[in-house]
């Protein structure tokens, strides 16, 4: 809980985001709002249709996804306390900016961003790995604006018996089914 400028207690809010590309062109982004890292269900699900997306260019995923993610965030009355994305915040051992770092910069550095990737990017440091559920396959968790150990713990604490936390699975499903 945090206090607003008026002194009233406000509940913190987090946002899990994902994007699905359509065969006919364009994309749909979905955002799942939740209060606590251990929540079983969302407070609200938002979607945004992006009629046009940039073409895929290796190493430039942010050009394609960032406008879609921002279309969901722009629907919010205020910025969330943290954003979780499907993907990397930083890439490789040299920590090049990935989608999450570009989102963090687009939000003026005001919101911590946690990236949860399902596939290992070349030279990804082993300390980014988080095992969840009974899966022997790790998730790769990177972050900006928050200590990475804390970010990994938040993802480990999220609800769900599977490798991918329940609310991240919901964001994925929401953008595919919209």
Instruction: Spell out the per-residue pLDDT of the chain, length 178, in tens.
Output: 344 444 444 568 999 999 999 999 999 999 999 999 999 999 999 999 999 999 888 878 899 999 999 999 999 999 999 999 999 999 989 899 999 999 999 999 999 999 999 999 999 999 999 999 889 999 999 999 999 999 999 999 999 999 999 999 999 999 999 9
Which parts of 51-177 are beta strand (E)?
Answer: 82-86, 90-91, 96-97, 113-117, 129-130, 139-144
Q: Where are the domains of the chain?
A: 12-177
Residue 12 three-state SS: coil
**Residues with Cβ within 8 Å of residue 153, at least 6 apart in sequence:** none
The domain 12-177 belongs to what CATH superfamily? archaeoglobus fulgidus dsm 4304 superfamily (3.30.2170.10)
- CA distances (Å), origin 2, targets 7, 8, 40, 73: 9, 8, 22, 20
Backbone angles phi, psi at 105, to 5 degrees: -65, -40
Q: Is 34 helix (H, G, I), strand (E, B) or coil?
A: strand
């Amino acid at each position: 809980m945090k206090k607003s400028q008026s002194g009233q207690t406000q509940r913190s809010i987090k946002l899990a985001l994902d994007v699905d590309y359509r065969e006919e062109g364009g994309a749909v982004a979905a955002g799942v709002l939740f209060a606590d890292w251990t929540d079983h269900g969302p407070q609200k699900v938002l979607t945004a249709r992006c009629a046009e997306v940039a073409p895929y260019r290796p190493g430039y995923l942010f050009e394609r996804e960032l406008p879609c993610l921002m279309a969901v965030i722009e629907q919010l009355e205020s910025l969330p306390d943290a954003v979780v994305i499907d993907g990397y915040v930083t890439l490789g051992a040299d920590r090049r900016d990935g989608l999450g770092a570009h989102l963090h910069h687009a939000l003026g550095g005001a919101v911590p961003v946690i990236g949860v990737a399902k596939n290992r990017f070349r030279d990804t440091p082993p300390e980014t790995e988080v095992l969840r559920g009974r899966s022997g396959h790790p998730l790769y968790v990177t972050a900006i604006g928050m200590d990475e150990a804390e970010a990994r713990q938040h993802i480990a604490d999220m609800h769900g018996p599977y490798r991918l936390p329940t609310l991240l699975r919901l964001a994925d499903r929401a953008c595919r089914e919209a």
